Amino acid sequence: MQNAKQTAVRRRTTHPAAAAAARAAARAARFTAARLAAMTAKRSLDLVLGSVLLALVSPALALGALTLALRPGRRPGGVLRRDIRTGLGGRPFELRSLRTRRLRLDLLSRLPHVVRGELSLVGPAPLAPGDPAAGGPGGRTWRQELRPGLTGLAQVRARSGMPWDEPALLDAHYAEHHGTGLDLAILAQSARIQLRTALHGPARRRKAHLSDTNHRLPRYSTAE
């Protein structure tokens, strides 16, 4: 009697539908674990590198804020510009930036948001609530699952003028393929752009050609 029960149990557990469900559940568990690991690694990079960068640029930010405060005829509202943006999970937050673009201090002044977890070092552009750019196919979903970034793939690649380098497509590509390697490549490219701009001034936007494929970042493929 006992053997018959065990045989029936084995038959039920090896049923094709049950086996397929078990494989699907295992794949989902592996995907969830990998996703959590990637999110943890991304947040660790934000916290560590963001804190180091904030410590390095704090004197420049303080000097910039003092210069703005003492500047004659300054606009009302103080030295900070305050904008409402949508963050992780669709939660709004107040984005604060210095009211200057000199040496990109406006961008660097957002580093406290990175340390607090409202921004990531790399991610899609922070959008205002209700911005139509967030309403594309599937866009609302992945934008709620990613922190907006201090910089991003769209910021470093949209200059090429190629059709697939439109900001919305670049943000969607990043959402699907983001990882530590791509984040580091984007940060390195951002640093090169800012250094080149500081030394030589803004680069003139050139007309892109269909054969212009040598501008791709590592891990960036239009076929994906």
pLDDT in tens, 203-219: 555 443 333 334 455 55
- Tracing tokens 């590592």 back to the chain, one arrives at 218
Q: How far apart are CA 188 and CA 194, in angstroms?
A: 10
Mean pLDDT of the chain: 78
Domain ranges of the chain: 38-200
The pLDDT value given to residue 40: 81
| Least confident range of 56-65, 93-102, 196-205 | 196-205
Other C-beta atoms closer than 10 Å to the C-beta of 80 total 15
Sheet strands (E) in 20-91:
80-86
Per-residue pLDDT tens over the stretch 101-139: 877 899 999 999 999 999 999 999 899 988 887 766 556
Per-residue pLDDT tens over the stretch 175-201: 888 889 999 999 999 988 888 876 766
- As a whole-number percent, the residues of the chain with pLDDT over 90 amount to 34
